C-alpha cells in the first residue's frame, strides 16, 4: 500500500469514483503492487482492483500520488506538475475529444489513458486512471533503444496529437485560447536557472571529452562553441509566441510510452499510449520530437533522420486534412524544418541527462530528498557506463555532424 495515502483515504476516493459510475453499495479493494524504484522518481504508483458487489464488472486501476516529503517537494516542483497533469485529464483531453466528434473515426485519439478521479488536496494529491498493463500494454525496457517499428509508431501518434491541437487553434480559436491559457512553460518552475545551466554544461563537457578521446576534436569544438556556451539559452529561452502552435507532451521519452502487441510472439507494436502529462504546454512540436529522438534512438535510427521527420510530418499532415485543415497553409514541412533549426538542440541537451537516467540500475537511483540529487549520478561510473557512453556519443555525433 502506498505510504503517501491511507487505506481510509483510498476508500473515500473509490466511493466517489463508483458514485460517478452510478454504482452504490459494498465493494472489495485489492491492492496489487507498485513500480520498482527508478521508474517513478517523484511519487508512487500503485495498482489495485475494485470489485463492486452489485455488478460483475471489475475496475482495474492505477493510483498516482506525489511525494509528501517536504524535502522532495523543495527539490522538485511536484505540485505544479500534478496540477498540470490534472488539468490535462480533466479539461484539455475531454475538450480535444469533443472537438473530434464531428469528424468520425478517422482520428480517434486512443493513446490517452482513461481517467477516473482526481484529488488535489494538499499532500493527498491523487490521480486514478485505468490500468494499462491489465489492458495488455507493456513498458519498454528502458535500458534499450527503441527499434524502428516502435519509433515510427511513436512519431505517427505524436504527430496526430500535435495536429489535433493545431486544428483546434484554427477552427475554434476562442475556445482554444481559453484552454491553452493555462498551459504556460513548466520548466521555469525548476529551480535556479544558473544552477541548471551549470549542471548541463558540466555534463555536456564530459561528452566533449569522450569525443576528443575518440579523435573527434572537431565535433567537440563545435559542441563546446554552439551548445555548451549556449546551454542557458537553449534550455530556458521561451519559444516565440508565433511558434507556439501545438499542445506538447513535454516529457516524451520511452519511460512515458506504453506499447501493445497483437501477440506474445509478434514484437511489432499495434497500439501506443502516452502517460505522464506533467509538462504539457503550448509549444513548438520540435521540442517533443527532438527530446524523443535523442533519448530513445541510437545511430541506427538517427542515420535515417530525414525519413523519421518525413514520417512525422506525413501523419501530422494527414490528421490536419482529416480535420478539414490545409497543412501547407497553417504548418508546412518547411515550417517544421525551420522550427527544427531553432529548437531541436533543446532535446539534445536534455538527452545528456535522460540517457544517463535510462541506464541506472535500481540501486543506483539517487534519493530525492537531498539538494541536487541527480548530480551524484555523474560523479562516478555506473554499471552500464559503456552503454551510456555509446548512446551519448551516437546522439551528439549525429547532431554535430548534421546540424552544427
**Per-position DSSP letters for 96-142, written without gaps between them:** HHHHHGGGTTS-----S--EEEEE-STT--EEEEE-TTTTTEEE--T
Rounded mean pLDDT, 192-208: 85
Sheet of 257-261: strand order equals 137-139, 257-261, 269-274
pLDDT at 7: 73
Residues counted in the chain: 404
Computed over every residue of the chain, the mean pLDDT equals 89
Percent of the chain surpassing pLDDT 70: 93
**Confidence class of residue 1 from pLDDT cuts 50, 70 and 90?**
very low
Location of C-alpha cell 506538447: 248
Domain regions of the chain by residue span: 7-403
Per-residue pLDDT, 271: 95
Q: How far apart are CA 127 and CA 20, in angstroms?
A: 15
The string of pLDDT tens digits covering residues 272-330 is: 999 999 999 999 999 999 999 999 999 999 999 999 999 999 999 999 999 999 999 99
Instruction: Give the range among 26-30, 129-133, 184-188 with minimum mean pLDDT.
Output: 184-188
Widest pairwise Cα distance in the chain: 71
Amino acid at each position: 500500500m502506498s505510504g503517501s495515502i491511507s487505506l481510509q483515504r483510498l476508500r473515500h476516493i473509490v466511493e466517489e469514483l463508483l458514485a460517478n459510475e452510478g454504482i452504490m453499495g459494498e465493494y472489495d479493494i485489492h491492492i496489487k503492487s507498485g513500480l520498482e524504484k527508478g521508474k517513478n522518481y517523484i511519487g508512487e504508483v500503485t495498482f489495485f482492483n475494485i470489485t463492486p458487489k452489485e455488478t460483475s464488472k471489475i475496475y482495474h486501476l492505477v493510483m498516482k500520488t506525489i511525494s509528501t516529503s517536504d524535502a522532495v517537494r523543495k527539490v522538485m516542483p511536484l505540485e505544479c506538475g500534478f496540477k498540470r497533469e490534472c488539468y490535462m485529464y480533466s479539461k484539455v483531453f475531454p475538450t480535444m475529444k469533443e472537438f473530434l466528434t464531428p469528424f468520425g473515426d478517422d482520428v480517434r485519439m486512443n493513446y490517452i489513458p482513461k481517467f477516473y478521479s482526481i484529488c488535489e488536496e494538499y499532500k493527498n494529491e491523487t490521480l486514478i486512471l485505468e490500468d494499462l498493463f491489465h489492458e495488455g500494454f507493456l513498458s519498454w525496457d528502458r535500458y534499450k533503444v527503441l527499434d524502428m517499428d516502435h519509433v515510427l509508431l511513436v512519431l505517427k501518434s505524436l504527430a496526430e496529437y500535435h495536429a489535433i491541437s493545431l486544428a483546434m487553434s484554427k477552427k475554434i480559436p476562442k475556445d482554444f485560447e481559453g484552454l491553452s491559457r493555462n498551459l504556460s512553460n513548466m520548466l521555469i518552475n525548476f529551480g535556479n536557472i544558473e544552477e541548471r545551466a551549470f549542471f548541463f554544461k558540466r555534463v555536456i563537457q564530459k561528452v566533449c571529452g569522450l569525443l576528443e578521446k575518440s579523435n573527434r576534436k572537431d565535433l567537440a569544438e563545435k559542441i563546446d562553441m554552439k551548445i555548451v556556451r549556449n546551454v542557458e539559452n537553449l534550455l530556458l529561452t521561451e519559444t516565440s509566441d508565433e511558434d507556439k502552435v501545438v499542445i506538447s507532451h513535454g516529457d516524451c521519452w520511452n519511460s512515458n510510452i506504453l506499447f501493445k502487441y497483437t501477440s506474445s510472439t509478434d514484437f511489432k507494436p499495434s497500439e501506443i499510449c502516452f502517460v505522464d502529462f506533467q509538462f504539457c504546454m503550448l509549444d513548438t512540436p520540435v521540442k517533443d520530437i527532438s527530446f524523443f529522438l535523442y533519448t530513445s534512438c541510437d545511430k541506427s535510427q538517427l542515420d535515417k533522420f530525414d525519413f523519421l521527420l518525413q514520417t512525422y510530418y506525413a501523419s501530422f499532415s494527414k490528421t490536419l486534412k482529416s480535420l478539414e485543415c490545409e497543412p501547407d497553409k497553417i504548418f508546412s514541412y518547411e515550417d517544421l524544418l525551420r522550427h527544427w533549426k531553432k529548437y531541436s538542440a533543446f532535446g539534445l541537451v536534455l538527452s545528456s541527462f535522460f540517457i544517463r537516467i535510462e541506464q541506472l540500475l535500481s540501486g543506483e537511483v539517487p534519493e530525492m530528498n537531498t539538494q541536487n540529487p541527480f548530480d551524484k549520478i555523474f560523479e562516478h561510473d555506473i554499471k552500464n557506463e559503456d552503454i551510456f557512453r555509446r548512446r551519448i556519443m551516437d546522439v551528439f555525433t549525429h547532431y554535430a555532424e548534421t546540424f552544427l
